[in-house]
Amino acid sequence: MAVLVALFYFFYFALIGVHIIFVPKILSMSGMSAMEIGIIFASAPLVRFAVPFMFLRGFRLDGRTFYLSLGLMALGAVGFYPSLEHFWALLSMNILFGIGIALILPYVEVIALEYIGREKYGKIRLFGSIGFIAVALVLVRWLSSPQIGIGFLIAMALGTLLFGAVIGSKHKNSSVSECDEEECVFNPFSHIYLWVGFFLMQVSFGPFYNFFTIYITDHGLSLDVTVWLWSFGVVAEILMFYFQGSLLRRNLYVILWITASITAFRWLMAALFPSSLPLLALSQSLHAFSFALFHTAAISTLFSLYSARRLSQQFFFGISYGLGGFVGALGAGLLYQYVPTYLFIGGAIAALGAAGAFYLHARRVG
């Protein structure tokens, strides 16, 4: 199962890499306006936020729903090809794609933690980071037309579909499963400070994910250096995934507020030294803590805290990467338009708020 999950992560995050890094450029090459591209990409985090609430109304993330989500993801990816020059068709395909990816990862994350455990999870999850950076380095040299880019998107989607389906078929006969329906009581706000921390942590990434390249090139660094800095952050992430096992034996709540505090320091460095390559590289090295270690600690916390494990993972991705990603992107856009020097100060404040929320949660639970 470990090999299958590693291959799934490779293709899934390569798919995410194509979608995040290249699809906006592909849509621009196809004649879409900036406003149209913005609307299309705003739909994905909103869908990711909305979908988990369906499962509080009787839906269940079981094997059948997982296979359906794989199909929606693949259908959305394939549908991009004939829809390239049609806004409403593209928006519809992106919503289907968003629903699919919102359901797929929580299901597999629970399987990974059940079979592999949190201490070895990182050594499997790092294949996702490898897939993300590999497809970026390859496609950047081949992206000569929108059709080639969408071809890569479809290929990564089919790889995700294949290994996801195999994992689903092997898992359905396992005795390890979600709690019984009558035992699956889930209240996403029963630990309010924890969820506030997840939300604010992803809000803090809004300046980074949406404006980091623009921000540092505006301060005199070249695009080549920018790509190197992105790659350096992913390498740091991979190294942390590989070596984080011993750290995860410690108190997970403490890890959450420490990594959020480190993230606040990271954004503060980017705010104060936007043209210093050594300090920006140091800032990027902290991606090991602010993403890799934080992510594993977060999903491991929810895995042990709630009996409805798949649902808790869905809400984690929905509230953090969904709602938090949407608010972070919108807030970063407003900051960079009106007070650009405060872009990463805003991110640091949000991360500090997350650290405070995690600290209060840790105090509450003892």
> What pLDDT, on the 0 to 100 scale, is given for residue 14?
93
Residue 187 lies in a domain: no
Q: Which of 8, 243, 188, 184 is nearest to 112 (CA)?
A: 8
DSSP, residue by residue, 12-48: HHHHHHIIIIIHHHHHHHTT--HHHHHHHHHHHHHHH
Instruction: Quote the tokens at residue 196.
Output: 């506030």
Pair 106, 166 in one domain? yes
> What pLDDT, on the 0 to 100 scale, is given for residue 182?
43
Residue 151 lies in a domain: yes
Q: How many CB atoms lie within 10 A of CB 341?
A: 10
Pair 227, 250 in one domain? yes
Instruction: Quote the tokens at residue 313.
Output: 């993972």
According to DSSP, residue 307 is labeled: S
Pair 355, 229 in one domain? yes
> What pLDDT, on the 0 to 100 scale, is given for residue 278?
95
- State the pTM of this model: 0.81
Q: How many CB atoms lie within 10 A of CB 35?
A: 9
Residue 137 lies in a domain: yes
b/e map of 344-359 (b: 16 or more CB within 10 Å)?
bbbbbbbbbbbbbbbb
Of 154, 177, 200, which residue sits at a domain end?
A: 177
* Residue 62 buriedness (CB in 10 A; 0-12 / 13-18 / 19+): middle
Residue 72 lies in a domain: yes
Q: Which of 200, 188, 226, 209 is nearest to 316 (CA)?
A: 188
pLDDT < 70 regions, the chain? 34, 55-61, 172-186, 366
Residue 184 lies in a domain: no
Instruction: Quote the tokens at residue 212.
Output: 């980091």
Question: For residue 131, what is the enclosing H or E element?
Answer: helix 118-142
> pLDDT tens digit string along 98-127?
888 888 888 888 888 887 887 788 888 889
In this structure, what are the phi and psi dihedrals at residue 185, rounded to the nearest 5 degrees? -95, 125
Residue 185 lies in a domain: no
According to DSSP, residue 338 is labeled: H
> What pLDDT, on the 0 to 100 scale, is given for residue 272?
95
Pair 27, 135 in one domain? yes
Coil vs helix vs strand at 221: coil
CA distances from 334 to 49, 258, 329, 344, 352 (A): 21, 28, 9, 12, 20
> What pLDDT, on the 0 to 100 scale, is given for residue 155?
94
Residue 96 lies in a domain: yes
> What pLDDT, on the 0 to 100 scale, is given for residue 22?
78
Pair 123, 147 in one domain? yes
> What pLDDT, on the 0 to 100 scale, is given for residue 329?
83
Pair 73, 155 in one domain? yes
According to DSSP, residue 135 is labeled: H
Residue 283 lies in a domain: yes
Pair 93, 202 in one domain? no
> What pLDDT, on the 0 to 100 scale, is given for residue 175?
46
Supply angle C-alpha 171, 79, 140, rounded to 5.
Answer: 90
**Integer Cα distance of 298 and 46 in angstroms:** 21
With contact defined as beta carbons under 8 Å apart, do 61 and 311 qualify? yes
Pair 204, 326 in one domain? yes
How many helices (H) and strands (E) the chain has is answered by 17, 0
With contact defined as beta carbons under 8 Å apart, do 107 and 87 qualify? no
With contact defined as beta carbons under 8 Å apart, do 31 and 85 qualify? yes
185, HSE (Cβ side, Cα atoms, 13 Å): 3
> pLDDT tens digit string along 259-272?
999 999 999 999 99
With contact defined as beta carbons under 8 Å apart, do 248 and 255 qualify? yes
Range of the domain at 217: 192-365
> What pLDDT, on the 0 to 100 scale, is given for residue 179?
52
Instruction: Quote the tokens at residue 91.
Output: 């928006």
Task: Indicate the number of domains in the chain.
Answer: 2
With contact defined as beta carbons under 8 Å apart, do 102 and 43 qualify? no
> What pLDDT, on the 0 to 100 scale, is given for residue 59?
62
> What pLDDT, on the 0 to 100 scale, is given for residue 145?
83
Q: Which of 330, 22, 345 is nearest to 206 (CA)?
A: 330
Of 177, 202, 232, which residue sits at a domain end?
A: 177
CA dihedral for 70, 73, 75, 81, sign (positive or negative): negative
